[in-house]
Amino acid sequence: MAVKGRGNPVTGIFRRSLRRGFDRAERGVDAIFGPEWNPLGQLGALGWFLFWIVAATGIYLFIFFDTGVVDAYASVEWLSNDQWFHAGITRSFHRYASDLMVVVMMLHLAREFAYDRYRGVRWFSWFTGVPLIWFVYISGITGYWLVWDMLAQYVAIVSAELLDWLPIFGEPIARNFLTPESLTGRFFTLLVFLHIAIPLMLLTVMSIHIVRITGARVKPSRALGGMVLGGLLVVSLVLPATSQGPADLGKVPTEVGIDWFFLPLYPLIDIVPAGFIWAGVALFTLLLCAMPWIPPLRAPRPAEVFLDHCNGCARCVEDCPYAAIDLVPRTDGAPFPHQVVVNPDRCVACGICMAACPSSSPFRRRADLVTGIDLPDFPLTELRARVVTTAAALEDPGRVLILACEHGAAGAAEGVVVLPCVAMAPPSLIDFILSRGHADGVCIAGCAERGCQNRLGVTWTKQRLAAERDPYLRARVPRERIETIWAGPTETARFSREVKAFRDRLAALPPETPRVRRAAEAVEFKLEGPVLEGPVLEEAES
C-alpha cells in the first residue's frame, strides 16, 4: 500500500520505499521486544540519552587527563590500564556511546525523512538538525586528537591539511605537526577547549531543535535506557577502548585502525584534493538544508479559532503536538480571561485541537455545528457528514465504521472515514455514531504506536478512550462496540484480520443495542463546555 502524503502528490519513490523498510523493521523489533523497547521509535530520545552519557563520562575522564604533549598519551594509558575498573570502563563508555550516537542520529535523520516529517511547517526541526551532524562529528574528531596516539597523529595531520586549504588561518596549522618540537602544550589546551566548547554548542542547538515540539521525548523508556547501558557495559568489558601506540612526529603513521563511525571520510581525504572535499561537504550540507523544500509540501490550511465558541479552556493548547497554539488575553469582551490563537507557521492541520475542544460536539444541529477551533479544509461539519454518508452504505451484520488515520494501514477499506490523525475524532463522535445507530461498532485505526505521524495522536486517543484525558469517552458508550487497531502502512493484513474479527464479534452481540439506547440517552445527554444555544439533540443529519 502506498504511503499517502496529503496535499502532496510528489511523495517520492525513494521516501516511500524507505518508509516501508522502516515500517517492516520496526514491526520486527516490536514483535520481539514490544513498542516500549523498540529503539527505532525513540531515536531522538536515545540521541539525548547518549549525549548525557558522553557528557558525564567525559567530565569524569577529564579528572585524570593531562593536557601536555607527552602527558596526554601517558595519562590516557594510565587510566585505561592501571585504573581500568573505573576510568578505563568510563573511557570505553565515552567512546562507544559516541559511536552509537552517530548511528542513532543517522537513523533518526533517515526515519524523519522516510516519515515525511521534515517538510512544510515541520522544516524547522530538520533545518536545525543539520548543524547537529557537524557538531557531533567535530566533537568526536577533536576527541580522537586528545589521546595523542598514532591515530590521533594521523587525524591531526589529515585534518590540518584540510583546514589549511581554507583561507582562514594566518599560519598553517600543519606546521604544528612537522617535527616533535613544533607541537606545543598550548595547542593541546586549545584542543581541550574545543572538545568542551563544541559539545556545549551541540547541546544548545539540540535544545533549539525541539522547541517546536510539545513535550519532546528526550528520555527513552527505562527498559530501553537500561538495555543501552547494559550493552555499553558488555562492549566496554569485552572490547575495552585502547590507544594505538604513542604519536611520533618524527615518523609518518603508515597503518592505523580507523573508527569508521567518526572517521569514514579520512582515508578519502587523504587521497582526494582538499578543495573537492570541501565542495562535497558544502554541497551535502546545502542539499540537506534545502530538503524541506524539494519539493515543498502542499499543506492544508492551518486551524482557525472561532471565538464565539471558545472559552479559553486551553485544552487545545495542551493537546497540540507542535506548540502551535498560544493562550492569550481575551480580546472580544467575552467573560473569560483567555482565548487562543493559532500560529500558522507551526500548524500541520492534524485536527487534534478540534477534537480536544469541548465545543466539538457532533450532536449539535447542522446550523449550530461550529466549534472553538476547526480545520478550514476539513471542518467538523464535513467530518460528521462523511461519517453519516459512509455509515449509510454499511451492510449488516456487524456494521463497522472505521475512523482511520491517513498514515496507517486502513487505506481504502470499506467503511473508512480517513482523517489526518485519529485524534481528530472527538470521543463524542464515537458516542454519536453508536448512540444514533449509525454503525454497530466503531474501529479507531491509527498509526503504529511506535510511529504516530503526529507524535501524540495515538497517546491522546488512548487516554481519551480510557477516560484519562479530556475530552473523554463517556461511560455510557458500550466499550465492546469499540476497537482500536494501531498499525503501520505495511500491516494491512493484520489490520484486515482484526477488523474481520471485530465484525464477527459485533455480529454475535445482541442486535440493535445502540438504537435501543438512543431514545433513553437522548434525554440524559447534555453537552459539556462553553457557549451552547438551542437544542443539541436534534438529529444532525436530518
Q: What is the C-alpha to C-alpha distance for residues 139 and 199, in angstroms, rounded to an integer?
A: 6
Residue 166 C-beta: closest distance to ligand HEM, Å: 23
Q: Closest separation between CB of residue 336 and ligand SF4, Å?
A: 9
State the binding partner of 530 from ligand SF4, ligand HEM, none, CB within 5 to 8 A by kind. Answer: ligand SF4
Contact segment (CB under 6 A) with ligand SF4 among 126-134, 242-250, 320-328, 517-525 equals 320-328
Question: 22 or 123: whose CB is closer to ligand SF4?
Answer: 123
Alpha-carbon distance of 111 to 116, in angstroms, equals: 8
Separation between Cα atoms, residue 204 and residue 209, nearest integer Å: 9
By rule CB under 6 A, what count of residues binds ligand SF4?
30
Residue 257 is inside which H or E element, if any?
Answer: none
In this structure, are residues 375 and 303 in contact, taking their beta carbons and an 8 Å threshold?
yes
Stretch that binds ligand HEM, among 10-18, 204-212, 386-394, 509-517 (CB under 6 A): 204-212
**Closest distance between ligand HEM and the C-beta of residue 349, in Å?**
13
- By the rule CB under 6 A, 130 interacts with ligand HEM: yes
117 binds, among ligand SF4, ligand HEM, none (CB under 5 to 8 A by kind): ligand HEM
Q: Is the Cβ–Cβ distance between 146 and 111 less than 8 Å?
A: no
139 lies in the binding site for ligand HEM (CB under 6 A): no
| Contact yes or no for 488/23 (Cβ under 8 A) | yes
Single out the segment in contact with ligand SF4 by CB under 6 A; choices: 29-37, 70-78, 308-316, 442-450. 308-316
Question: Nearer Cβ to ligand HEM, position 11 or 513?
Answer: 11
Torsion of CA 524, 527, 529, 531, to 10 degrees: -120
Site for ligand HEM in 482-501 (CB under 6 A): none
Quick one: which segment of 15-23, 127-135, 203-211, 298-306 binds ligand SF4 (CB under 6 A)?
Answer: 298-306
* HEC profile of 447-482: CCHHHCCCCCHHHHHHHHHCCCCCCCCCCCCCHHHE
Alpha-carbon distance of 472 to 493, in angstroms, equals 30
Quick check: 428 binds ligand SF4 (CB under 6 A)?
no
CB of 441 to ligand HEM, least distance (A): 32
The three cell numbers locating residue 441? 461498532
Q: How far apart are CA 495 and CA 278, in angstroms?
A: 49
Name the amino acid, one letter, at 278.
W
Binding mask 422-461 for ligand HEM (x = CB under 6 A): ---------------------------------x------
Residue among 442, 427, 439 nearest 354 (CA): 427
Instruction: Fill in the DSSP letter of residue 362.
Output: T
Query: Should residue 297 be labelled a site residue for ligand SF4 when binding is judged by CB under 6 A?
Result: no
Residue that the C-alpha cell 582515508 belongs to:
267
Least CB distance to ligand HEM at residue 456 (A): 8
Q: Among candidates 149, 147, 172, which has minimal Cα distance to 159? A: 172
- Under rule CB under 6 A, residue 316 binds ligand SF4: yes
What are residue 74's phi and psi, to 5 degrees?
-60, -45
From the list 61, 132, 249, 354, which residue makes contact with ligand HEM (rule: CB under 6 A)? 132
357 binds, among ligand HEM, ligand SF4, none (CB under 5 to 8 A by kind): ligand SF4
| Grid cell for residue 516 | 435501543
Site of interaction with ligand SF4 (CB under 6 A): 302-303, 305, 310-316, 320, 322, 324-325, 340, 342, 347-353, 356-359, 372-373, 530
